[in-house]
Structure 1
Amino acid sequence: MPVPGTTPPAGPLGRSARYLRTVAELARHPYEGTENLYRTYGPVWRLGSGKLAYVYLLGPEANRFVFANSQLFRWREAFEQLIPVDGETALIVSDGEEHHRRRRLVAPAFHHREVDGYVEIMRTFADEAIDAWRPGQTLDAYEELRSVIRRITVRVLFGERLAADQRTLGRQLQLVLDLINQSPLVQQVQRWGLPSYRRATAARAEVARRVLTEVEHRRAHPDEDQHDVLTLLTAARDEDGARLSDVEIIDQVVSLIAAGYDSTSAAIAWAVHAMARDPKVWERARAETEEVLGSRPVTAADLPKLPYLDHVVNETLRLYPAAPFNARKAAESFTFEGHRIPRGALIVLSAYVTHRLPEVWRDPESFLPERWDPAEPGYRKAGPHEFLPFGGGPHRCIGATFASVEMKVLLAQLVRRVSLQLPRVPAKPVGFTVMRPERLPVRVRSRD
């Protein structure tokens, strides 16, 4: 039992060979490595010391505590490495009243009724990609779907004018995404002025310039009928009439791309990976969509009638959370599980660890969409501290509904139109900020 008021129990500390092996293991395998250390040291432990120390708070009760006590934590300092990319005013680096005000202005753009209006765009781009596939062809499903997500994201956020140049925007944004999807230590080294960092910040500045030009165009032409997030952010007003500044609009758009484009493309790739590995899942999803849709296109009104696809999406986000880790900075000292956490400590949470605990999930390593069906024997509704693919508390991902709808629309089109075969070699997860498959080669067995 911990002694009340003590600092968190140490993981392997010092400069011992064991410590160095642990650090190397976490660098190579951050997901499984964190899960193994949880088994060794429990839900509260630290790695390193001084300013380089990380305090891990893992598992459902740690999540519950952090989400319920948001006043104890700061986001800006925990995610300061994202500021050169996401911007000074992005939601992910905003705290307190500024976060509340910005989120209140941005939230209407991601209300369910707005997201429903994007379903046709999602379906159209999915079909255009599938139309180019041929039976017998082998392709990288991750890269294919990533391209679809990029087109959808740019079109929905920026509108038709900038969507016409989505390839160039995609290349610029990829430089930015490559930078932030490194471990915090690597990102810190990059900020010393390495060429990759300079290229990424230059690309970010060019994207910001193009967004500002488009904002100015919208304000000069208010009668243009544009249905996209940029229009909604430009028009957003608080109850006292205040609006987002140009810098705030740019930062929200760029950070939404960084959050949505990268993480959603990873999640949809993992869904295809899991479904193609189990033909029964693919065929059951296909049967559901055919029963509901017949031969007509999927619409927003159809999505609530596809519960099995909901289960597939949830199970994908459980087993393969796109954001395996989250972080906070302790704004003041506090005690959790008898351990005193000092002010200024960097707190690490992990959806990956929580989602794979056998004490929470039956057969946690297996992909079982039926576990989400209330009609199934043994069904148990997961609490927000147990299932957290989009985080939790006041900083829960504002694009959660958009991402879920996007995944469901793309999966509906895929299972209706193609059959895919995976090689026997399992997909390798890579990345730190976003867990994605390194490659996802698939063979197109049939189409339409």
Structure 2
Amino acid sequence: MELAMVELLPAGFLALRAAAPYLAAAVALYVLVEQLSYLRKKGPLPGPSLVVPFLGSVAQMVRDPAGFWDVQAARARESGTGLAADFLIGRFIVFIRDSELSHRVFANVRPDAFHLIGHPFGKKLFGEHNLIYMFGDDHKDLRRRIAPNFTPQALSTYAAIQQRVILAHVGRWLDQSAASGEAMPIRVPCRDMNLETSQTVFVGPYLTEKARERFAKDYTLFNVGLMALPVDLPGFAFRRARLGVARLVRTLGDCARQSKARMRAGGEPECLVDYWMQETMREVDEAAAAGLAPPAHTDDEEIGGFLFDFLFAAQDASTSSLCWAVSALDAHPDVLARVRAEVAAVWSPESGELMTAEKIQAMKYTQAVAREVVRYRPPATLVPHIAGESFQLTEWYTVPKGAIVFPSVYESSFQGFPTPDAFDPERFFSEERREDVAYKRNFLAFGAGAHQCLGQRYALNHLVLFLALFVSVADFRRDRTDGCDEPVYMPTIVPKDGCCVYLKQRCARFPSF
């Protein structure tokens, strides 16, 4: 009877049953080899002794990113090593808390050491044409060509655009708040404001209204994909994000093409890509006249990729800083009063004029507040790199090839500075304290080394302008609830409640430009 039943079973099932012991042995061997490999790479570093096969600690990281990285920081601090190890989706990782060790990583971005990746699966997500993946002279040459984008003249052009966009959005927030009478979370409105600011500053005249709508949708897909599991299959958020980025890069590349034509025809720069293409077209034309090929990295789609890099750097980091700035000012009315007084001395909402570059530069205390916001809550808390080759990070530990290292600029921001847990703009304003100089090596929110953020002055200017305009036209009160200021990843850190505030118009006449 049993023999007859066996004969009725499919041959494939019988083969699978016969192979089951071998498959089980293979899985067991894989798990054993993976565990031994992890322990060998971990060496003396603190971290889990056993890891879940292939997945590692990814469940904890996805469920509670802030808590996961807090655990890494605690291990690094309590062990006294400044380092901690863990395992995520088949990859060995090293968390770096110590500022000097972070500097060692930033100072050694090169093919045979560390490669900046921006995201554990960033190259696949961001695409090939991205500034963060470049090295050596090629990278230096591109940064030289980008430098005209951030001259005082260019920043002055952007400041006028920024002010118009900020005021238009804040005006809508005030109308919405007046109509509802309720507290509103400003994270998403800040993100929308920043997206319009970035679009207009970077490629303003070249985006149609329809392109802007598609742009916003694709950027939302990208944001969702950043925080999703890296499953590159139809129907998954990561795949939608990757395809969205490809469309964004093509759109930005078309903007570069239009700007090239306009700059070659003698047009005046009106946005960032114009300042960039003005110099680029001069170099392209000089090369053509000499019978040479166009300079490297002047292809439209390549430039689109680099512009996307700028957009990503400016967008979510700025959203984070604006939210934390509002929360900090609400919690420190003395700081708020000083900012309002300083702004009122140089600009009034009823003046009918925008702030000039000279007036922006005169607001030294407001600039100190902006720097303290970035120190106190650095938006991009971690800067992932991958070890292209084994690298001796300390006398007693070598980072193995293929490991992903996470220098924590957040942890560095709370090292060295006196009373680091206090929000204290005076540390960057006082001539006696000058902590921006004394503890410069711990102020890593904009990175360090060859890949230090090119647009940091633009980013700080944007925060200063927002602070100056917002506090001048709006009275605001934070809707404080338990845990509202706990940092959550979106993908940069923001207050847990989205920064809920009650808003009311402060000025007699709202400015319109």
TM-score under structure 2 normalisation? Answer: 0.77
Tell whether 2:153 aligns with 1:153.
no
Tell whether 2:276 aligns with 1:233.
yes
Amino acid at match of 2:315: Y
Quick check: 409-418 or 126-135, which moved more?
126-135
Tell whether 2:179 aligns with 1:179.
no
In our comparison, the structure showing a higher alpha carbon Rg is 2
SS at match of 1:389: coil
Distance 1:365 1:323, change over 3 A: same
Matches within 5 A, 1:193-232: 193-221=234-262, 222-223=264-265, 224-232=267-275
Aligned partner of 2:152 in structure 1 is 112
CA contact (8 A) 1:322 1:389 kept: yes
Aligned partner of 2:499 in structure 1 is 440
Tell whether 2:223 aligns with 1:167.
no
Aligned partner of 2:421 in structure 1 is 365
CA contact (8 A) 1:63 1:385 kept: no
SS at match of 1:211: helix
> Which structure's relative contact order is higher, taking Cα pairs within 8 Å and 6+ residues apart?
1
Q: What is the alpha-carbon root mean square deviation over aligned residues? A: 2.9
Q: CA deviation at 1:55?
A: 1.6
Distance 1:193 1:112, change over 3 A: farther
CA contact (8 A) 1:322 1:434 kept: yes
Aligned partner of 1:63 in structure 2 is 102
CA distance in 1, matches of 2:93, 2:303: 33
| Percent of matched pairs sharing the same residue | 21
Matches within 5 A, 1:347-362: 347-357=405-415, 360-362=416-418
CA distance in 1, matches of 2:465, 2:276: 25
Distance 1:20 1:191, change over 3 A: closer
SS at match of 2:437: coil
Q: CA deviation at 1:80?
A: 6.3
Distance 1:173 1:77, change over 3 A: closer
Distance 1:205 1:331, change over 3 A: closer
Aligned partner of 1:14 in structure 2 is 50
Figure out how many residues of one structure are paired with residues of the other and give that number. Answer: 435
Q: CA deviation at 1:421?
A: 0.3
The gaps in structure 1 that reach 5 residues or longer are: none
Q: CA deviation at 1:44?
A: 2.2
Q: Which of these residues, 339, 342, 361, is aligned with residue 288 of structure 1?
A: 342
The gaps in structure 2 that reach 5 residues or longer are: 1-40, 288-294, 508-513
Aligned partner of 1:139 in structure 2 is 184
CA contact (8 A) 1:173 1:204 kept: yes
Quick check: 429-438 or 275-284, which moved more?
429-438
CA distance in 2, matches of 1:81, 1:50: 11
Quick check: 375-384 or 253-262, which moved more?
375-384
1:286-329 superposed Cα distances (whole Å, 9 cap, x missing partner): 01101122454322111221111111111111111111001222
CA distance in 1, matches of 2:159, 2:58: 48
Amino acid at match of 1:343: K
TM-score under structure 1 normalisation? Answer: 0.87
Q: Which of these residues, 168, 180, 183, is aligned with residue 128 of structure 1?
A: 168
Distance 1:352 1:80, change over 3 A: closer
CA distance in 2, matches of 1:32, 1:77: 22
Distance 1:192 1:206, change over 3 A: closer
